[in-house]
A and B are shown apart, each in its own frame.
Chain A
Amino acid sequence: MNPVAEVLSTVFGVVLVGAIAYEISQRRKRLRELYNVLDAEDKHVVADLDMMVANGQLAPYVIG
């Protein structure tokens, strides 16, 4: 096999694998943004909401 063609094939393969990995990473990032776990960053949000329920500021939604 021509050494130039071999190098080109290798480079093309590396670029292809890199592009797939990047695409997977981007889509996972989007999924994480969409379905985000409530973790340490959100614990104050959760605490506030729990307090609003406990204080009676929020009542359960009822189906009409």
Chain B
Amino acid sequence: MSLLALQRDMRDWLVREDLIAAGRMGASAGPGLVVYQNNYRAQLVECLESSFARTRAWIGDEAFFHSAVHHIESVPPSSWTLDAYGRDFPATLARLHTQDPEIGEIASIELGLEELFVAADSTVIALEKLDNIDWDRAVLTFALSTRFLELRTNAFAIWSALVDEKEPPVSRNLDAPQVVLLWRQGEKCRMRPIDDAECQALRDLRSGMSFGALCRDVTLFCGEQKGVALVGQWLGLWLSDHLIVAIKDDWSAQPRTSSYL
């Protein structure tokens, strides 16, 4: 048997307990094959338990274990890093628990935080660099770790209660989707729900819109006084949260209409 054929047999034994493939490795291999399969499954279950502790607390050990076993049987690991194995688990949970959509969403929050933990570092912008900025032409760069998570249930409230070891609320669908902003401030993973206006502003700025164009759009929509106050409030928050990592004076920045309106 070639090495490639042997390795495929071993994979088939591990993934789907293929007894014919196991038999080709010889009768004496039996006890050893059992050890390798136990190691394989135990390690993947442990990985999911470690990555999705709040989800496990929400659905209970038994339901979590069954979900993990289903995932392991249907999604073999493919990445060199075990940390990546949980990436598809929220989708598996969503498929398995269609009547309880908050389960997959709680898992998505946990996955998002785990990815945030090792996301690329960003530099912090020095406040003295803000002095001479032409804000009309300024183009903002946001932390590389910045991402959005859209939730259709009150999963964020449930997750927050689980973290705080408080009684979680009863799960329910939201009237409108809630967007949660995730980013890392230094080594600290941060997360907060944002409203539609801030979400759209962030999406526009991250796609290259100048700060001046955003101000014009928001004041058109909200009125001069309220619009300026709102954008100023966002800017202060984004700076203090270390979401903004660079501000470029872009001579080519032209006023343009955003999807904000």
Q: Do A and B bind each other?
A: no
A contacts, CB < 8 Å to B = none
